[in-house]
């Protein structure tokens, strides 16, 4: 019985801490989430578009049997996804650090 009571008290305490933290960080609401989606989107889009531009330039100036546009599109997309992954991991570590 005491274990149930202790667990209940800890759960209530944790909920109260989350409420207090949420009141302190009002700016981290829906707009923060939308902003993060925008940052992640741009971190993928920009390297992809740069890769396409470089590939098109190479294809126009140095014609060959290889489509450099597709090669650099793929490379830019991969770099953008890696970049976004690092962003998400960084934010996740910050959030987990705040919860501890």
For the chain, give the secondary structure using H, E and C. Answer: CHHHHHHHHHHHHHHHHHHHHHHHCCCCCHHHHHHHHHHHHHHHHHHHHHHHHHHHHHHHHCCCCCCHHHHHHHHHHHHHHHHHHHHHHHHHHHHHHHHC
Identify the pLDDT of residue 26.
Answer: 63
Structure tokens at 34: 């939308």
CB count within 10 Å of CB 1 equals 5
Reported as a single tens digit per residue, the pLDDT across 32-48 is: 777 778 888 899 999 99
Res 75: pLDDT: 97
Residue 83, token pair as written in the block: 């970049």
Indicate if the pLDDT at residue 99 is higher than 70.
Answer: no
The pTM score is 0.65
Indicate if the pLDDT at residue 100 is higher than 60: no
Q: What is the pLDDT of residues 66-78, one digit of tens each?
A: 999 999 999 999 9
């Amino acid at each position: 019985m005491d274990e149930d009571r202790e667990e209940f008290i800890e759960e209530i305490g944790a909920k109260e801490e989350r409420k207090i933290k949420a009141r302190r960080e009002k700016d981290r609401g829906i707009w923060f989430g939308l902003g993060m989606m925008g940052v992640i989107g741009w971190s993928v889009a920009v390297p992809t578009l740069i890769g396409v531009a470089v590939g098109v330039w190479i294809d126009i100036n140095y014609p060959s049997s290889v489509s450099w546009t597709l090669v650099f599109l793929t490379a830019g997309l991969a770099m953008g996804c890696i970049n976004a992954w690092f962003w998400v991991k960084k934010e996740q570590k910050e959030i987990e650090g705040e919860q501890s």
